Amino acid sequence: MLKLQLNRKITKKIIFLLFRITVIPLLVREFIQRNKVTIILFHDLSKDRAERYFKWLKKKYNIIPLSSYLDYLKDATQKLPRKSLIITFDDGHKSNYELLPIIKKLNIPITIFLCSGIINTKKHFWFLHPLKGKTSQYFKNLQDRERLKELSKLGYWDEKEFEQRQALNYEEIKEMIPHVDFQAHTVTHPILPQCDLEKSKYEIIHSKRHLEAEFNLKITSIAFPNGDFSNREIEIAKDHYQSCLTLEVGYNSDRSDPYKLKRLSLPDDASLNEVIIKTSGIFHLVKAFLNRFKNLS
pTM of the model as a whole: 0.93
Quote the pLDDT of residue 293: 59
Answer yes or no: is 58 within a domain: yes
Q: Is residue 159 part of a domain?
A: no
Q: Look at residue 153 and tell me if it is in a domain.
A: no
Please state, as a whole number, how many other Cβ atoms lie within 10 Å of the Cβ of residue 55.
Answer: 14
Task: Give me the number of domains the chain comprises.
Answer: 1
More confident residue, 160 or 10: 160
Nearest Cα residue to 23 out of 284, 280, 264, 266: 280
Does 219 map to a domain?
yes
Kindly report, residue by residue over 95-128, the tens digit of the pLDDT: 999 999 999 999 999 999 999 999 999 999 999 9
pLDDT at 294: 59
Q: Could you report the per-residue pLDDT of 49-59, keeping only the tens digit for each? A: 999 999 999 99
150 occurs within a structural domain: no
Find the CATH number of the domain harbouring 261: 3.20.20.370
Task: Name residues whose C-beta falls within 8 Å of residue 202's C-beta, 6 or more positions apart in sequence.
Answer: 187
**293 SS3 class:** helix
Q: Is residue 112 part of a domain?
A: yes
Determine, yes or no, domain membership for 285: no
Of residues 274, 250, 273, 265, the one with CA closest to residue 33: 250
Residue range(s) defining the domain that contains residue 198: 32-125+164-265
Q: Is residue 19 part of a domain?
A: no
Stretch (H or E) spanning 274: helix 272-280
